[in-house]
Structure 1
Amino acid sequence: MKNAVGRNYAQGKSDAELIGHIGFGHKVEVNNEAEKNVLITGAGSYIGESFIRYAAENYTSIKIDAIDMIDGSWKEKDFSNYDIVYHVAGIAHADVGNVDDAVKEKYYAVNTDLAIEVCKKAKAEGIKEFIFMSSMIVYGNSAPYGKEKIVNENTVPKAVNFYGDSKLQADVAVRSLADDNFKVIVLRPPMIYGKGSKGNYPTLAKLAKKLPVFPDVNNQRSMLHIDNLCEFICQIILVKKVKENAIVLIPQNAEWTKTTDMVREIAKDSGKKIRTLKIMKPAVLLGRKMPGKIGGLVNKAFGNNCYAHKLSVYDGLVYQKVSLKESIERTEE
């Protein structure tokens, strides 16, 4: 679990420790009237800003502040006035194939060290609950097109690059700080998308709006619309009691996504015409085998990467409110 510039918080951990306790382990009760003071560590982030807006519109009992993590002034912030710290600061979307050790070190400094430092401060200052944004990347890359990948409750996290490892190291380390008075909730969401998001979705949307044709191939991916994530966060913040000291939660949309279906919906919602053709399947099969960036892009677009549905169903929570079709409408409006 360690490379030249990595960390070793996960080194020597058992499979059970790496997997973590997935789910609450019991039916939970959400108190929508409870007042909660939440501190977001990572002001200006897409997830943080989206959550602030969503809570303001839908959960007025949740009061939220956010602080910037860039200049170090957060260290002087008094955390004791809050019930929950929600840590979203991090670096993502790495070009993992073409970076030097200095860039890798930055990923570990932000994704690993900063998360642990914030978690320790939260615990020391009497915070009751710490929520950490990990990622599906801790389970490695997507399976290439044509090969199935479904993560279940027995799948052991195994990072395959420095980005994934930087998230996994923090994922393990913050859970190790949990105790009876300091609950730690780690989230491992799949690709998050929505209006204004970065990453793979905007690239796919551009293709959907420009290309006259697109391959019609079968693949499956777990994804998470930003509104479903924000609803999930609001509900877990308002859960009356979390029994386990440290848990891993895996939110995702109710349905897996087929890339072709998503492109078709984006084009339709944008008023564009695009033909999806099964005869283009051989081109995808050829592209996935090409070395370098082309093969990587093909497998990223048409590969398979899913969470088992049952990992994302929690008795007492109802958060998968936005369907794929509606999520694209909201994103493209």
Structure 2
Amino acid sequence: MKSILIIGGDSFIAGKFIKEYSGRFNISAISRVNTGIKNEVVVDNLFEIDQNYFNNIDVVINFAAIVHRPEISDEDFYDRVNYKLPVHIASIAKKKNVQQFIQMSTVAVYGETSLIKPDSNPSPKTAYGCSKLKADITLRELENETFRVVSLRPPMVYGGGLAPGNLMKLISLVNKGIPLPFGEIKNARSFVHVNNLVGFISKVIANEYSGIYFPVDEKNYSTTELIVEISKRLNKRIWNFKLPLLGQKLLRAIKPSLYSKLWGNQIIDVVYEFARPKYDIVQGIEEMVNSYLKKNK
């Protein structure tokens, strides 16, 4: 049984991985917040982790990150946790003879690229995406024959309850029952169910892979399709009208990032036979809606 050390055990994805695979792997975690999971150590500063925690560890997975915040563009803010921290942790892991280091990266390293393939060139547009790309590049430089490095670049993660992110914001918006301007949007975006993602991670560990990977669901969805599916699960009848072209142009000029997320395309074109997705967005939205309604009774 492989021994795995998780950095950032209090993250949403880490919690799902631990719950699903604690019986298959010997898992310990270092967190900033106490989650009550078994073999967890809580620290104030992840840069000051006792290196003895890396003894006899086969795999380190880094889930610690500062996610994108539109109101913050300061590169140093993101670089400290998203770039410097994973490099620091990986350096310790390599020194302590850990065999594999898995970094949770992001599709944001490709900016607004509409079609992403394994050979696509990164082009981040935000400080968040830039910090993640710098980490990926530097981590690859640490790799050798005995220290394998994996960077995972998933799209938006959903499902599994109260998944943080824009999909939960859409659920809250649809639940208000107000008219929405998201009708007839014919875009396509890739997503990944959190269970598909943690399953992908387990396969990467079991197969002892290295390199860059894109955990992703098989089917892409438009914003309009998401709204329709959410309204079904909420049992809400809403007026989802088409935003006039002038309104779209104004939104694109004033809020380009928001426009891109709602009207733009971003498809990840890759299939991995070793980790075919088992869950889809219909299941994921139902899980999220049920958790949302339970929380907001």
Unpaired segments ≥5 residues, structure 2: 33-43, 291-297
The 3 A distance-change label for structure 1 pair 259 and 83 is: same
Task: Determine if contact 1:208/1:264 at 8 Å carries over to the other structure.
Answer: no
**1:229 has 2:194 as partner:** no
Aligned to 2:170: 204
Task: Determine if contact 2:203/2:274 at 8 Å carries over to the other structure.
Answer: no
**1:87 has 2:49 as partner:** no
**1:252 has 2:220 as partner:** no
Counterparts of 1:254 and 1:197, CA distance in 2 = 19
**1:315 has 2:278 as partner:** no
Q: Cα RMSD between the aligned structures?
A: 1.9
Counterparts of 1:321 and 1:52, CA distance in 2 = 18
Aligned to 2:106: 135
Aligned to 1:297: 258
Could you list the per-position Cα deviations for residues 162-188 of structure 1 after superposition, in whole angstroms to 9, with x for gaps in the alignment?
111100000111111111111111101
Aligned to 2:128: 163
**1:193 has 2:158 as partner:** yes
**1:112 has 2:100 as partner:** no
Counterparts of 2:135 and 2:92, CA distance in 1 = 15
Task: Determine if contact 2:107/2:153 at 8 Å carries over to the other structure.
Answer: yes
Q: In the TM superposition, what are the counterparts of 1:207-218 in structure 2 within 5 Å?
A: 207-210=173-176, 211-213=178-180, 214-218=182-186
The higher-RCO structure (CA 8 Å, 6+ apart) is: 1
Q: Secondary structure at the match of 1:186?
A: strand
Aligned to 1:28: none
Aligned to 1:54: 20
The 3 A distance-change label for structure 1 pair 220 and 169 is: same
Aligned to 1:4: none
- State percent identity of aligned pairs: 31
The 3 A distance-change label for structure 1 pair 316 and 275 is: same
Task: Determine if contact 2:196/2:279 at 8 Å carries over to the other structure.
Answer: yes
Q: Secondary structure at the match of 1:290?
A: helix
Could you list the per-position Cα deviations for residues 302-324 of structure 1 after superposition, in whole angstroms to 9, with x for gaps in the alignment?
2111111xx2x223333x10112
Measure how far apart 1:132 and its partner are: 0.5
Could you list the per-position Cα deviations for residues 56-88 of structure 1 after superposition, in whole angstroms to 9, with x for gaps in the alignment?
4xxx22121110264244234431222100011
Aligned to 1:331: 288
Aligned residues: 275
Q: Secondary structure at the match of 1:196?
A: coil
Report the residue type matching 1:119 in the other structure: A
| Farther off after superposition, 281-290 or 195-204 | 281-290
Instruction: Give 1:181's match in structure 2, choosing from 146, 152, 158.
Output: 146
Unpaired segments ≥5 residues, structure 1: 1-34, 143-148
Q: Secondary structure at the match of 1:48?
A: helix
Counterparts of 1:202 and 1:218, CA distance in 2 = 21
